[in-house]
Structure 1
Amino acid sequence: MAVVPERRLALLGGGFSTDDDGLLDDWLLDQVRAPRPKVCFVPTASGDSPAYTEQFLAAYQPRSCEPSVLRLFRRELDDDALRTLLLSQDVIYAGGGNTVNLLAVWRAHGVDRLLREAFDRGALLCGISAGANCWAEGSHTDSFGPLTHLCDGLGLLSGSVCPHYDSEPGRRSSYQAAVATRLLPAGWAVEDGIGALFAEGRLVDSVTRTSQARLYRLEPDSDGGGVRERALPCRLLVPAHRSTPPA
């Protein structure tokens, strides 16, 4: 009987683009069994920012992995080559930026379908900010300017996602209101510094690079008048892959 790959994705509240210690990047690569995992960075949400791409390469080229970049704004790959690239990856890392633009461009190029196929084949999908929002059914976003709810996403993770829960003014109250009024389904609020790993839709690991950062689960009250916010235990990451008990 053929072994069915486990479908996994990770929500990141940091990494190479925001942190100097590399703890979340090391944790991410530790989730892959391949000795030199293939890691493809997809910077669509930033308009394929050259500076962002250079940050990724500077962080991942020295690591024990095979990094690559998929650029779509000046696409060079035909459909077959695009499919070959994405389906050969162990990790597909979506960068931050504009969630709405990311989804629109992916769908125009058929990347959304390829990512679903890669997910079903066992690739670890992950990302930060817009690159975390995109995997869920809905998200909390500033893609239109002011903070608002977006009832759109790839739906690979049930519910909704809110990034930058602790670091951007208005995020917490606005996301709480969206969940409380059911404009967004129950979901996950990610503070900066957090990594959350899901397997088959279940949270299986949550880590933090700071003792303050938290991952929260938000659900509407049964009476529809409020929201329940629950902080979840997170392992504190420290250098040399040593970890402490849940914080």
Structure 2
Amino acid sequence: MTGGTVLPARRAVLLGGGFSTDDDGLLDDWLLGHARGPRPKVCFVPTASGDAPAYVERFLDAFRSRACEPSVLTLFRRELDDEALRAFLLSQDVVYVGGGNTANLLAIWRTHGVDRLLREAYDRGTLLCGISAGANCWAAGSHTDSFGPLTYLRDGLGLLPGSVCPHYDSEPGRRASYRTAVAGGALPAGWALEDGVGALFTDGRLTEAVARKPEARLYRVRAGLGGEAVERAVTCRPLRA
């Protein structure tokens, strides 16, 4: 509370799936259940994929049929000036960031000032979320293939403390490489998402974890006293159709 004003909760969601990978829509429906209002404005940001047209169409196909107002922010062919861009992003209830190249995403956002605008939107109560690179970007660091081979990236918006690793169970080498990075101090302790998991953070703390399939897990990974990685599975509430 500041000067008698109650500040909105700052919320971010890490997704291990969604419209681009799953047919059941469970994670996206769960996500929309946390949005403001009965018909939230949902903006898709496909920067990490180079604003791939097919990716944009998949988002629109998935969200036009839902109780929301979908839109897309493209930056490779930007149309909005700075004032209009700020007004547009701050008017959104949900910003949904797609997958692709995390390092490129961060560089392009900073060039256009989108990083600062997303921080402002976050502080004003906009729900930030994303899959893969769109999950990595919110943390202080992440595990990525932005440079070809799997490695660590000590960069991000830092809205969530620690680090993030997506595709923990589905991409060969992810688990071992992330554990090595955390154990050796290249990345801070963080969250590893198996495909099918959704994790909601409120004011930087995990407040809900869900899974669209029974075997999917969310893990807290930290460095142990002996220089090894320590993994703790978090109980996820199952989502049902």
TM-score band, normalised by shorter chain:
over 0.9
Say yes or no: does 1:75 pair with 2:114.
no
Measured in 1, the distance between the counterparts of 2:172 and 2:222 equals: 21
Measured in 2, the distance between the counterparts of 1:99 and 1:32 equals: 25
Other-structure match for 1:237: 239
Other-structure match for 1:147: 150
Residue-by-residue CA offset, 1:115-148 (whole Å, 9 max, x unaligned): 0000000000000000000000000000000000
What is the root-mean-square deviation of aligned Cα atoms in Å? 0.5
Determine if contact 2:219/2:231 at 8 Å carries over to the other structure: yes
Other-structure match for 2:160: 157
Measured in 2, the distance between the counterparts of 1:232 and 1:17 equals: 24
Other-structure match for 1:245: none
Amino acid of the structure 1 residue aligned with 2:23: D
Structure 2 SS opposite 1:154: coil
Determine if contact 2:36/2:93 at 8 Å carries over to the other structure: no
Say yes or no: does 1:205 pair with 2:208.
yes
Q: Could you tell me how far 1:3 is from its partner in structure 2?
A: 1.4
Measured in 1, the distance between the counterparts of 2:95 and 2:171 equals: 26
Structure 1 SS opposite 2:66: coil
Structure 1 segment 16-55 matched on structure 2, within 5 A? 16-55=19-58
Measured in 1, the distance between the counterparts of 2:233 and 2:193 equals: 10
Other-structure match for 1:244: none
Determine if contact 2:166/2:193 at 8 Å carries over to the other structure: yes
Structure 1: unaligned runs, 5 residues or longer: 240-247
Measured in 1, the distance between the counterparts of 2:191 and 2:24 equals: 25
Amino acid of the structure 2 residue aligned with 1:169: P
Other-structure match for 2:228: 226
Say yes or no: does 1:136 pair with 2:143.
no
Residue-by-residue CA offset, 1:4-57 (whole Å, 9 max, x unaligned): 010000000000000000000000000023010000000000000000000000
**Which stretches of structure 1, 4 residues or more, deviate above 2 A after TM superposition?**
none
Residue-by-residue CA offset, 1:201-237 (whole Å, 9 max, x unaligned): 11000000001110000010123x2011000000000
Identity of aligned residues (%): 73
Q: Could you tell me how far 1:2 is from its partner in structure 2?
A: 1.1
- Return the TM-score normalized by structure 2: 0.98
Measured in 2, the distance between the counterparts of 1:138 and 1:119 equals: 18
Other-structure match for 1:242: none
Determine if contact 2:99/2:133 at 8 Å carries over to the other structure: yes
Structure 2: unaligned runs, 5 residues or longer: none
How many correspondences in the alignment?
A: 238
Measured in 2, the distance between the counterparts of 1:126 and 1:231 equals: 21
Measured in 1, the distance between the counterparts of 2:216 and 2:11 equals: 22
Structure 2 SS opposite 1:48: coil
- Return the TM-score normalized by structure 1: 0.96
Determine if contact 2:64/2:70 at 8 Å carries over to the other structure: yes
Other-structure match for 2:113: 110
Amino acid of the structure 1 residue aligned with 2:218: L
Other-structure match for 2:199: 196
Structure 1 segment 84-99 matched on structure 2, within 5 A? 84-99=87-102
Structure 1 SS opposite 2:239: strand
